[in-house]
């Protein structure tokens, strides 16, 4: 019969959990495909006693916004995503593709561009590598409260031209994620993180 860890030690061990940087020797690194938005990189890496080869998407990084109104409703947008052939529900989000722009400033810009909103209060909510086996994207999700209409509406085109916008009770969004009815990963991380907060500032 295994001996159980004392509760205090268990809590301490859990608090110490964190991802660890690791920098193996990169033997070669080339752009295998140059894309319109992202490139695919082909790396040969010395690993252990051998060598591995990995191809992955070089990503600019991104931001997403969990906008929460005074009634505890979260702003969701629905738009067409060609790789999955779905109009999935998402959080407002966008790329870190402007040189020198900090993630928070990008989040402010994206909330105005995608939802015609500005927020009085901003807080980091959660950050995540979206697909660490296939790209190097890190997305930073911010909580935005104290919402009001942006001074001007943003012109939209392509997939953004027919964005559908809905305000949904946070718990309803959590239920839809856990039921498998909404499967966007960033949306899932965002609403689950927001639901864990004991107090949301408005």
The catalytic site residues sit at 160
Q: How, if at all, do strands 73-81 and 62-67 pair?
A: unpaired
CA 98 from centroid of its chain's CA atoms: 17
d(CA 160, CA 78): 9
Residues in CB range of 100: below 8 A, 6 or more apart: none
Sign of CA dihedral 73, 79, 81, 84: positive
Q: With H, G, I as helix, E, B as strand and everything else as coil, classify residue 184.
A: coil
């Amino acid at each position: 019969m295994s001996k159980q860890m004392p509760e205090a030690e268990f809590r301490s061990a859990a608090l110490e959990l964190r991802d660890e940087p690791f920098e193996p020797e990169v033997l070669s690194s080339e752009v295998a495909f140059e894309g319109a938005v992202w490139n695919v990189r082909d790396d040969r890496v010395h690993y252990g006693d051998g060598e591995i080869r990995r191809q992955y998407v070089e990503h600019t990084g991104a931001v997403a916004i969990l906008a929460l109104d005074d009634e505890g409703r979260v702003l969701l947008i629905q738009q067409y995503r060609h790789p999955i052939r779905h109009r999935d529900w998402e959080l407002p989000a966008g790329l870190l593709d402007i040189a020198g722009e900090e993630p928070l400033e990008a989040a402010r810009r994206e909330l105005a561009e995608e939802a015609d909103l500005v927020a009085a209060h901003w807080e980091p909510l959660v950050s995540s590598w979206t697909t660490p086996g296939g790209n190097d994207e890190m997305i930073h999700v911010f909580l935005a409260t104290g919402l009001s209409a942006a001074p001007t509406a943003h012109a939209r085109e392509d997939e953004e031209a027919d964005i559908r916008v809905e305000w949904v009770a946070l718990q309803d969004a959590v239920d839809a994620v856990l039921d498998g009815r909404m499967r966007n990963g960033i949306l899932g991380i965002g609403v689950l993180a927001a639901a864990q907060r004991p107090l949301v500032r408005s």
